[in-house]
Homo-oligomer: A and B are copies of this chain.
Amino acid sequence: VKVALLGFGTVGSHVARILATDAKDLQLTHVFNRGVERKKVDWLPDVRWTDNADHVLSSDADIVVEVMGGREPAGTYVRRALESGKSVVTANKQLIANDGTALLELARERGVHLSYEASVAGGIPVVRALREGLSGDRLHRVSGVLNGTCNYILTRMGEAGATFESALAEAQALGFAEADPTDDVDGFDARAKLCILARVALGLDVSPGEVACRTIRDLRDVDFMYAQRLGCTIRQVSRVERLDDGSVVAWVQPAIVASGSPLARVTGSENVVLTSGVHGGETAFSGRGAGGGPTAVAVVSDLVAIARRGGQRNVSSPAVSRPSSVTAEFSAPHYLRFVVTDQPVIIARLATILATHRINIDAVFQAPGMSKDALPFVVTLEACDPAQVNAALAEMLRLDFNVAPPFWMPMLG
């Protein structure tokens, strides 16, 4: 089985390395990369190097591996490869999250395979486990910690009392975070992965643009201190759930999670995916979510699976449906953190506003020894909807004792 690589960055070179050391009946024939001259390596003597993608797309390769990233030109190349009757293995989460339905349908029409295990949770074979290993169940919810960079930052803030800025700088120095961390810390990376999990686990076609994202940039070290007093910590959680009425709840945001819970137990740059099924209850998959090695293993596993099928036509239908609506509203207890100049009236005024929005206070926490000029304290709320919280916060924002805008997040399970 002949394989061509589109992209020779971290993942692409790891894929080539695996194929060079453990051939697994797969022969790497072409490598495409822009400015390919600087990419050539001496341990791939029999490969044709090219900076012209047409050389790959018109070659006799059976399977094209797309590890360039980004929606274009990767999307055009994937489409052309499928149209010319080649199977495709991709690690491209944005491509599958946004254009997966059309591309999978194209692959089925042409009888070729389009596999994307590497697009979610790199080293954890979660696509295969969900689609096949839990096919006997009826899953209704998938949640997870899907972004290793955020989890590294939050773990450091929780363990070491680091600020967001210093934990981010540390992640950047270690190569876990990009110079521009927007995709990670603002949730866009996790959101694309969540849409792929919705497709695989729940059979739902949800677009990234429909899923609300909230950044982790607004978290402060005091939030971890208060979380700890609650027997909890903080994670960037992604969640999608199908309700009985056909609507879907989906979001990516920071959330308070109980210390012993599976979401809290992933530390550093690990990922975890949790599924809830009618028959089997909760199952967890965890492992290293990113890095060249684990992601390349996922790519090669897809290659091996296609090769094992021995040229059989792909006849499987995508079988996804559109939800009737997608919302971030769901009822949960909430955590509100204020930073104020201390005055006797504060709690009374906040409680009055919450009461007018029919929100019940669960508890008020104030750690001793804080500055009276910029006093952080926390109010926890009984179960309510984010819309209620936002409406109350809109009023609270106008109160003159705020030194910083109030911050809120849901408290899970």
Q: Which residues of A contact B (CB under 8 A)?
A: 14, 17-18, 22, 24, 117, 123-125, 127-129, 132-138, 260, 262, 265, 267, 277, 279-288, 291, 293-294, 296-305, 308, 316
Contacts and interface: CB of A to CB of B under 8 A. Distances in A.
A279 B135 contact: no
Contacts of A267: 260
Contacts of A265: 265
Contacts of A285: 124, 129, 284-287
A265 B265 CA distance: 7
B287 A287 contact: no
A116 to B, nearest CB: 13
Given A136-B302, A299-B136, A294 B308 contact: no
Q: Which of A14, A133, A265, A288 has the most CB of B within 10 A?
A: A133
A359 B308 CA distance: 50
Q: Which of A24, A128, A280, A297 has the most CB of B within 10 A?
A: A280
A409 B278 CA distance: 40
Contact of A279 (B133, B137, B283, B296): B296
A297 B137 contact: yes
21 contacts: A22-B138, A24-B136, A124-B133, A124-B283, A125-B133, A125-B134, A132-B132, A132-B304, A133-B298, A134-B301, A135-B300, A136-B298, A136-B299, A137-B297, A279-B296, A279-B297, A280-B293, A280-B294, A282-B287, A283-B294, A284-B287
Nearest to A301: B136
Nearest to A304: B135
Contacts of A304: 132, 135-136
Contact of A301 (B124, B125, B133, B293): B133
Nearest to A265: B265
A305 B129 contact: no
A7 B372 CA distance: 70
Contacts of A302: 136
Contacts of A280: 123, 288, 293-294, 296-297
Contacts of A301: 132-137
A66 to B, nearest CB: 16
B281 A293 contact: yes
A266 to B, nearest CB: 9
A412 to B, nearest CB: 18
Contact of A133 (B129, B277, B288): B129
B286 A136 contact: no
Given A129-B129, A265-B265, A305-B135, A123 B297 contact: no
Closest 9 CB pairs of A and B: A125-B133, A136-B300, A136-B301, A280-B297, A283-B287, A135-B304, A136-B297, A137-B297, A280-B294
